[in-house]
């Protein structure tokens, strides 16, 4: 019997081993299938068709194939801004492309700077003889800014077009946390550093409101100037100063109101629009559905673009999303990952210059400084460093910009916010309401501290505040050294205040206005390189010829729950974004904001619209289940 039991255990062990091996092989094969990239299709004669079912970003987040399958919510498609611009620019010179057509019915925006960049490319295509046509069920601020650069703007007869302008209200949890007797310990430096206020107050401070009003006034004026320049007949004052009267004047018909006010040129269904485009560019030979026309979609066209790389490389490193410690990203700015990219670039003896492209509201001070120190190591080799700011480069986003020889921003960039804070909730009073207390002995004032359950001693409070003040002094000192200013001057434009790119240029926080191409040209000039003697090399975000199979299979499903088809669904979408932002902030309070933070409150909406970074992903969680 003993021998039989041993044989049985051996057989069971072999069986379990074989099952494990086959499971691993199965998952490995499944992963390979889901992540394989199909070959590029050919570009067809007709239109370049940009069906933007998602959001435009500086740097897309990678898609975990298993998350795409098993995620409980919808996945939002992310389009890299520079890929869209490059495809439109190439199409302007491509004889196969007769027009550029955009479908913005499921478009979720992407920020003023990115809309300007894409809009400029659309204008250039139109001037090159490639007319631009746009159709949507609903236009909002960003989609209207894009559409304004088109030759013809169409709207569904049941649709609407509304321009809200920047600004709005956010949630403040101070009263709720007081009622729950949760002590939110706030440590900060900066009169205008208002990222802590949602947790400590019931309303925004007068300083916060004043700073935000000045910022939004700048951004609103820039927006109005841009749309009126591109679309002079638009009655923007009418539709924004008295929107209810405007809609009521059209008997509640939002589509007719948009037509009357010059926001759109024609009303028509997608099928009618498609037939109109087919007359311009030709009928589709592969699709017989109503509204089909000859076209090449963005993925196919982008996959077939050729990239010319003459001369020496100018490295472009992207800092996009919230800055966090570790290797997170792309799409989230993991400090260690980005520092490694910068160090890797510096090992290339042929490197001519480095451009840091920043589109970040900031975040961890330690991660921001890791990126800054990596840039200083490059600078020590006499390699020119230039910063290009996109939609946002505030707080930690400005911290990482300080080593630059020159900082470029767009007029609509949000920057500054030079300030530091820390937030730690403690629960001693909350527990006392339920007769739960703590007790013990200490050998020093720091014994057992910091203790979020029993509360903080006065000594630990003083130590943390002193550390925050030292962090702010360091921030001010870094800026002063880079700008060649006295620290007192930095403090006057610091204190956590945010500025538009225009205001930042006026107060000296940035050196010049211009986009990424301007920054690259300046970097080439600093490296004493002429035209044709250099090329941009984007590090860490290589352009793939095609999305993975799972990306393409799930694309039709992504963003379908976020379609704003009328005013009611638009309101629902705004509510959803507000709840996402509230969730991000509460996550930050409870456990997401470890350590000192240099983060911009006014810049957080973009963070809420994107998925929270998960460095481990599916495989890490699978491994944890098998342990």
| Minimum mean pLDDT range among 65-69, 254-258, 488-492 | 65-69
Per-residue pLDDT of 31-68, as tens digits, reads 555 544 444 568 889 999 999 999 999 999 876 655 55
Residue 101 has pLDDT above 50, yes or no: yes
Residue 282 has pLDDT above 50, yes or no: yes
Q: Is 15 assigned a catalytic role?
A: no
Residue 12 has pLDDT above 70, yes or no: no
CB 61 within 8 A of CB 574: no
Both structure tokens of 296? 């090449």
Cα–Cα distance measured from residue 600 to residue 415, given in angstroms and rounded to the nearest whole number? 9
Of 98, 130, 188, 193, catalytic = 193
Instruction: Please report, to the nearest 10 degrees, the dihedral formed by the alpha carbons of residues 184, 185, 188, 190 taken in order.
Output: 50
Both structure tokens of 258? 């948009």
Chain CA centroid to CA 549, Å: 24
Mean pLDDT score, 20-35:
64
The DSSP symbol for 410 reads: -
Per-residue pLDDT of 312-335, as tens digits, reads 999 999 999 999 999 988 989 999
> Please, which pLDDT band fits residue 70 given cuts at 50, 70 and 90?
low
Residue 69 has what pLDDT? Answer: 56
Residue 3 has what pLDDT? Answer: 59
Q: Which residues pair with 392 in a beta bridge?
A: 414
Residue 575 has what pLDDT? Answer: 54
* Edge-first strand listing for the sheet containing 420-426: 183-189, 420-426, 597-599, 362-364, 323-324, 333-334
SS3 sequence of 309-337: CCCEEEEEEEEECCEECCCCCCCCEEHHH
Alpha helices in 161-286 (DSSP H): 174-179, 197-200, 206-230, 236-241, 243-249, 254-260, 270-281
Describe the crossing of helices 206-230 and 112-127 by its angle, rounded to 10 degrees: 10
Residue 447 has what pLDDT? Answer: 87
Both structure tokens of 26? 């199965």
CA angle 361–595–58, rounded 5-degree value: 20
Cα–Cα distance measured from residue 29 to residue 36, given in angstroms and rounded to the nearest whole number? 11
State the average pLDDT for the chain.
84
Q: Is 401 assigned a catalytic role?
A: no
Going by their DSSP bridges, the two strands 266-267 and 295-297 should be labelled as unpaired
Cα–Cα distance measured from residue 430 to residue 560, given in angstroms and rounded to the nearest whole number? 42
Burial of 8 (0-12, 13-18, 19+ CB in 10 A): exposed
Of 136, 200, 388, 395, catalytic = 395
Residue 559 has pLDDT above 60, yes or no: no
Rounded to a whole number, what is the distance in angstroms from the first to the last CA of the chain? Answer: 33
Cα–Cα distance measured from residue 446 to residue 575, given in angstroms and rounded to the nearest whole number? 44
CB 519 within 8 A of CB 409: no
Name the phi and psi angles at 184, rounded to 5. Answer: -95, 110
Residue 182 has pLDDT above 80, yes or no: yes
Closest to 402 measured CA to CA, from 481, 469, 471: 481
The DSSP symbol for 58 reads: S
Describe the crossing of helices 112-127 and 81-92 by its angle, rounded to 10 degrees: 10
Both structure tokens of 557? 């499903």
> Please, which pLDDT band fits residue 414 given cuts at 50, 70 and 90?
very high
Both structure tokens of 627? 């342990």
The DSSP symbol for 435 reads: T
Mean pLDDT score, 106-131:
95
Q: Which pTM does this prediction carry?
A: 0.83
Per the rule left: phi > 0, alpha: psi between -120 and 50, beta: everything else, 54 is: left
Both structure tokens of 604? 């957080």
Residue 144 host element (H or E)? helix 141-147
Q: How far apart, in Å, are the Cα atoms of 93 and each of 89, 90, 128, 248? A: 7, 5, 7, 45
Cα–Cα distance measured from residue 615 to residue 627, given in angstroms and rounded to the nearest whole number? 19
Cα–Cα distance measured from residue 574 to residue 576, given in angstroms and rounded to the nearest whole number? 5
Residue 291 has what pLDDT? Answer: 85
CA atoms within 13 A on the CB side of 298: 24
Cα–Cα distance measured from residue 388 to residue 397, given in angstroms and rounded to the nearest whole number? 11
CB 386 within 8 A of CB 353: yes
């Amino acid at each position: 019997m003993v021998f039989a039991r041993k044989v049985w255990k051996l057989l069971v062990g072999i069986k379990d081993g074989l099952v494990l091996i086959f499971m691993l092989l199965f998952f490995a094969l499944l992963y390979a299938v889901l992540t394989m990239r199909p070959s590029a299709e050919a570009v067809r004669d007709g239109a370049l068709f940009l069906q933007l079912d998602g959001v435009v970003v500086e740097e897309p987040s990678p898609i975990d194939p298993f998350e795409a399958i098993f995620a409980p919510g919808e996945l939002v498609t992310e389009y890299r801004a520079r890929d869209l611009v490059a495809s439109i620019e190439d199409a302007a010179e491509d004889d196969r492309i007769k027009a550029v057509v955009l479908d913005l019915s499921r478009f979720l925006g992407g920020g003023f700077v990115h809309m300007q960049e894409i809009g400029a490319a659309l204008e250039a295509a139109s001037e090159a003889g490639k007319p631009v046509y746009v159709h949507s069920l609903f236009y909002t601020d960003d989609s209207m800014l894009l559409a304004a650069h088109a030759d013809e703007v169409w709207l569904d007869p049941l649709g609407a077009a509304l321009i809200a302008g920047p600004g709005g209200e956010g949630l403040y949890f101070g009263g709720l946390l007081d009622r729950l007797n949760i002590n939110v310990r706030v440590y900060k430096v900066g009169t205008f550093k208002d990222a802590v206020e949602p947790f400590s107050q019931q309303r925004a401070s007068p300083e916060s409101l004043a700073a935000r009003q000045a910022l939004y006034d700048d951004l609103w004026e820039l927006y109005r100037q841009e749309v009126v320049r591109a679309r002079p007949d638009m009655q923007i004052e009418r539709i924004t100063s008295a929107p209810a009267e405007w809609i009521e004047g059209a008997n509640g018909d939002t589509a007719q109101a948009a037509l009357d006010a010059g926001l759109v040129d024609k009303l028509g269904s997608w099928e009618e629009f498609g037939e109109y485009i087919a007359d311009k560019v030709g009928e589709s030979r592969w699709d017989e559905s109503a509204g089909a026309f000859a076209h090449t979609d963005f993925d196919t066209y982008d996959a077939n673009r050729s990239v010319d790389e003459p001369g020496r490389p100018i490295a472009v490193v992207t800092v996009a999303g919230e800055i966090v410690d570790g290797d997170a990203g792309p799409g989230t700015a993991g400090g260690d990952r980005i520092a490694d990219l910068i160090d890797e670039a510096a090992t290339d003896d042929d490197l001519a210059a480095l451009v840091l492209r920043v589109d970040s509201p900031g975040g961890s001070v330690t991660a921001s400084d890791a990126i800054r120190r990596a840039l200083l190591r490059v600078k020590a080799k006499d390699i020119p460093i230039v910063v290009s700011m996109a939609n946002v480069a505030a707080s930690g986003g400005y911290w990482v910009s300080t080593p630059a020889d020159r900082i470029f921003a767009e007029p609509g960039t949000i920057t500054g916010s030079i300030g530091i804070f820390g937030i730690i909730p403690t629960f001693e009073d909350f527990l006392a309401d339920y007769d739960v207390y703590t007790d013990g002995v200490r050998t020093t004032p720091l014994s057992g501290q910091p203790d979020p359950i029993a509360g903080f001693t006065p000594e630990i409070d003083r130590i943390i505040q002193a550390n925050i003040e030292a962090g702010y002094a360091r921030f001010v000192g870094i800026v002063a050294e880079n700008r060649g200013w006295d620290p007192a001057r930095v403090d006057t434009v610091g204190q956590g205040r945010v500025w538009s790119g225009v205001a930042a240029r006026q107060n000296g926080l940035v050196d010049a206005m211009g986009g990424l191409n301007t920054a690259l040209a300046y970097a080439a000039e600093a490296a004493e390189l002429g035209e044709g003697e250099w090329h941009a090399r984007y590090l860490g975000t290589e352009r793939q010829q095609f999305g993975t199979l799972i990306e393409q299979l799930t694309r039709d499903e992504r963003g379908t729950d976020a379609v704003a088809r009328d005013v009611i669904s638009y309101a629902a979408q705004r509510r959803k974004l507000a709840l996402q932002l509230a969730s991000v902030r509460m996550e930050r309070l409870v456990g997401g904001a470890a350590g000192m933070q240099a983060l911009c409150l006014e810049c957080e909406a973009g963070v809420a619209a994107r998925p929270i970074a998960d460095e481990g992903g599916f495989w890490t969680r699978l491994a944890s289940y098998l342990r």
